[in-house]
Structure 1
Amino acid sequence: MRAVIQRVSQASVKVDGQIVGQIQKGFMVLLGVHQEDTLEDVAYLAKKIAKLRVFEDENGKMNAALADVKGSVLSISQFTLHAETKKGNRPSFIQAARPELAIPLYEAFNQALIDQAIPVQTGIFGADMKCELVNDGPVTIIMDSKQR
């Protein structure tokens, strides 16, 4: 499972011109589910993201986590994070999980964050989404549950 985590001062996602999810301070998380991912990958990434200390504390140091700043997560499913680009110019997405696996794991990831008292907004799985964000810093972190 791969996640691109962007620290944001605001973020939103639209489907068919309508906002379906939006947050203020927090993370926009682009989440790619691999065909070999399990609930263990979900638990690992959700815990790491919830505890990720990249917000400024009272001393101006990147030492605070989402809960410390009352932040939220805008979670967007993104199968293209598992693109294979070694051959040719057209990416292959064969390693990305099929919807029958990806949807339950994506939903479990979101619930795992909620279970840690992190407010979560989402896009719509499989929809053509338009994401907008103000990357704060900018701070962008990439995590992969297979690289522990």
Structure 2
Amino acid sequence: MSGIHVSTTINGDQIDYVCEPEETMLDVLRDRLGMTGAKEGCSTGDCGACSITVDGRLTCSCLMLGAEAGGHEIGTVEGVAQGNELHPVQQKILDHAALQCGVCTPGIVVAAKALLEKNPDPTETEVRYWLAGNLCRCTGYDKIIRAVMDAAQELRSA
């Protein structure tokens, strides 16, 4: 393989990998690094199932080349929980039964966490706007929005 050597930080860990120039970050995460939380939904950046953060900015990993990750801080759904403790967004999604098939859930968790880090006191409209890039065909969105609002309240109280 004549690929590109990349050195990056993923979920706080220094990671080195080799990828081909045409490989997306989604391909690298799933196929090279075994991080299968991000899902391939559309491969066009329209569904949000593959959402990650790059230097804290929400990004569709299907639209980013793996070679572009060099020197950046990547956050994936695998890094959301702290040890055996679920992040409040994850726990509230469970508490509110805000998931069904699970394809969209990792992207929603990453997006919601990114929102709450940027804005710990969002309005319902802001949550809806922020999650508009994450498509869910199973739950509707009401339970997801309620879960994120509840997680925001818990984080503010902590």
Q: Pick the structure with more helix per residue.
A: 2
Per the shorter chain, which TM-score range? under 0.3
Query: Taking structure 1 as the reference length, what is the TM-score of the superposition?
Result: 0.26
